[in-house]
Amino acid sequence: MTDVPFTRNEMMIVAAARELAGQRVCFVGVGLPNIAVNLAKRTVAPDMELVYEAGVFGARPARLPLSIGDPTIVTGATSVVSMHELFSFYLQGGLIDVGFLGAAQIDRFGNINTTVIGDYDAPTTRLPGSGGACEIAINARQVFVIMRQSARSFVERIDFRTSPGNLGGAEQAERIRGEGGWLGRGPSVVVTDLGIWHFDDDGEMRLDSLHPGASLEDVRSSVHWAPKLAASLATTPPPTDEELRLIREELDPGGAYTR
C-alpha cells in the first residue's frame, strides 16, 4: 500500500501484473500487456517465462522494450527462433499458459475487435488488425486482456471479431472449442482502468474488484450492457511503493504507458 498518488493507468497495469502470479509461460502482446508482464516478472512471477511473438522464448529484457521486437529481448534470452517456429511449436503446439492481449472493443463474452471500427471495406477507423491475437486467443490455454474501459470499447456488439472469446456464451463456446480441438479455454480475466473482471459460468464478464477511486457509476457508464457485479465486490489493493517505483523508474520512465 502507498500514500503516493497513482494514476488509473498505473493501477490497471499493477492489477494486471498481479493476475499473473503462478503462471509459467506467458505470450506477451504489444502495448499495455508488455508493461504488465514485465512488471509481473519483477514482482509476483519471477520464474515466469516470457514468450515474444517476434521469436523469443525465455526473454530477460534489461529495459522495457517500446516495441515487442527489440534487441533487449534477444540478448540473454534462452532461445531465439523463427516466427514460424514460435507460432507453430510454441503457440499452436500448446506450450503457452497465458496469452496476454490488448483490445480496442470487447463484448460481454470477451470477444475482441482490433481490426476496424465501422464497415470493414470503408472503415471509420482502421485499427492494427490481428497480428498474432487471433491465434493466441484460440491456442493459448488462457487469455488475459488489459484495456482501458469506455463506452466506445465495452460494447454490446463488436464491429469485427478479430479474436474469439466465449462467442455467444459459455455453453456454445465449450461445444465449439471441443469439436474444433482448440487448446484454449478462452478469456480468464479483463483488467481495466476501473476494475478486474473475470468470467462467470455463463461465460460472461463479471466485475469482481473495483479499483480504488473508481465508482460503480464509472463502470456502468462505460459499459454498453448491464454489467454483472460480484456479490461481494472487492476493492483492488492500491499499488505498493515498489510496484510504483518499478513502473516509474525502471519500466516506463518516459511515462509512455501510464499517462
Partner 1 sequence: MSDSKVASMHDAVAELVRDGDTVAIEGFTHLISFAAGHEIIRQGRRDLTLARMTPDLVYDQMVAAGVARKLIFSWLGNPGVGGLGGIRRRIEAATSAPGGGDGRLPRLEVEEYSHFGMVARYTAGAANLPFMPLRSYFETDLPTANPQIREIDSPYGDGKVYAVPPLKPDVSIVHAQRADRDGNTQIWGLLGCQKEAAFAADRVVVVVEELVDEAVIRADPNRTIIPGLIVDAVVVEPYGAHPSYVQGAYDRDNRFYLEWDAITKDEAALQAWLREWVLDVDGRAAYIDKLGPDRVAALRPSGTAPSGVVDYGAYR
Coil, helix or strand for 207? strand
Q: Is 182 in the site for partner 1 (CB under 8 A)?
A: yes
Q: Which of residues 116-155 bind partner 1 (CB under 8 A)?
A: 118-120, 122-135, 138-139
> With CB under 8 A, what is the number of residues at the site for partner 1?
75
Instruction: Choose the catalytic residue: 53, 135, 204, 243.
Output: 53
The stretch among 3-11, 56-64, 221-229, 232-240 that binds partner 1 (CB under 8 A) is 56-64
Nearer to partner 1, 1 or 122 (CB): 122
| CA terminus-to-terminus distance, the chain | 21
Please tell me the distance from the alpha carbon of residue 152 to that of residue 104, in angstroms, as a whole number. Answer: 8
Q: Which of residues 8-37 bind partner 1 (CB under 8 A)?
A: 25, 30-31, 34
**Is 53 assigned a catalytic role?**
yes
Q: Which of residues 219-248 bind partner 1 (CB under 8 A)?
A: none
Q: Interface mask (CB under 8 A) for partner 1, residues 57-96, using x and -?
A: xx-x-xx-xxxxxxxx-xxxxxxxxxxxx-xxx-xxxxx-
228-232: Cβ within 8 A, 24+ apart: 228/200, 228/204, 230/206
Q: Is 204 in the site for partner 1 (CB under 8 A)?
A: no
Q: Transcribe 32-79 into DSSP letters.
A: HHHHHHHHHHHTT-TTPEEEETTTEES---SS--SSSS-GGGTTT-SE
Residues labelled as active-site residues: 53
